[in-house]
Amino acid sequence: MVGTYINKQLDVFNRYLERVSANTNMDDVHKLRVAIRKLRTLLSVFDHAQITTGRKEDFTLLAGSLFALAGRLRDAQVNQQLLSNRKAGYLLPYVNYLKGAQKRAMRLLVKEIAAFEPSRMERLLNECLLQAQALTDEQLLAAIWDYIRYKLEKINRLVQAGTNDQQLHKIRVQLKPVNDSLNFLKADGLPVKPGIPFGEISKMTEQLGNWHDALVLQKSLKAYSRRHASGQGRRYFEKLILRHRAECDHRHDEIVKGLQRF
């Protein structure tokens, strides 16, 4: 069960690592990050169940920079996509600024990929797999469900503590591995336990991702306006920022309503 999943995700990772090194289009960059995150989630499950110790940290040391640089590139790409209908007038210098940021991030990512050693990741995953294979499928399944419950309890505590932007970001970070774990079970044809709202979790993960993208753009616009805009250009940015802030707030409110149903 787990061996097939690890090998499949490793193949996906290697495929997109090669594709991104040749052509850094937004979809491939995103899929590279997703492949890294899914592998990291599985190692988090192993560490949480004490099947392994410190393997998530080992994995992060190997792939953390790759993940972060791909994220920086994706932010610049997504910001341009979100502004695809507004590329003239006062906004044009900002779009050019994003293109420059994309080129710089692209160079750094390609350099990181060139220095990356896939064999080290494969060796780490094989070591983890050897330890995990000592468990029966039932024991492994129990470990995954225990991890999911642990994460959902953390999310519940975060929701109870408040739902401002900072809290929503923390919730988003905790929800992603829950969604990854449920997708692992679903991919293997295993039933989702009663009371686990798989559809709601999947939808909420997507909503939080869209909210985060909108928030990143809004913060980028504010930072650019403070440093570079003046006069009528500054007033244009202030109005645009207010519109994007309103969009972020609307997404935020919809997410909070959804979280209350968990």
| Amino acid 33: pLDDT | 97
SS3 content of the chain, % helix, strand, coil (to 5): 85, 0, 15
Q: Are 207 and 251 in contact (CB under 8 A)?
A: yes
114 and 209 inside one domain: no
| Amino acid 186: pLDDT | 82
Terminal Cα distance for the chain, rounded: 29
Distance CA 58, CA 69 (A): 18
- Biggest CA pair distance of the chain: 67
98 and 207 inside one domain: no
Domain with 209, as residue range(s), is 137-262
217 and 180 inside one domain: yes
| Amino acid 144: pLDDT | 92
Q: Name the H helices within 137-197.
A: 137-161, 165-187
| Amino acid 159: pLDDT | 94
Q: Is the dihedral of CA 118, 25, 110, 75 positive or negative?
A: negative
88 and 190 inside one domain: no
- The type of residue at 211 is W
258 and 178 inside one domain: yes
13 and 92 inside one domain: yes
Tally of domains within the chain: 2
131 and 5 inside one domain: yes
66 and 168 inside one domain: no
131 and 143 inside one domain: no
Which contacts qualify for 150-154: CB closer than 8 Å, 24 or more apart? 150/48, 151/175, 151/177, 151/178, 151/181, 152/178, 152/262
Closest to 113 in 3D by CA, of 5, 6, 23, 7: 23
Give the containing element (helix H, strand E) for 259: helix 231-259
88 and 174 inside one domain: no
218 and 180 inside one domain: yes
123 and 32 inside one domain: yes
Q: Is the pTM of this model over 0.85?
A: yes
- pLDDT by residue for the chain (262 residues), tens digit each? 788 888 899 999 999 999 999 988 999 999 999 999 999 999 999 999 999 899 999 999 999 999 999 999 999 999 999 998 776 788 999 999 999 999 999 999 999 999 999 999 999 999 999 988 888 888 888 999 999 999 999 999 999 999 999 999 999 999 999 999 998 888 767 666 667 778 889 999 999 999 999 999 999 999 999 999 999 999 999 999 999 999 999 999 999 999 887 6
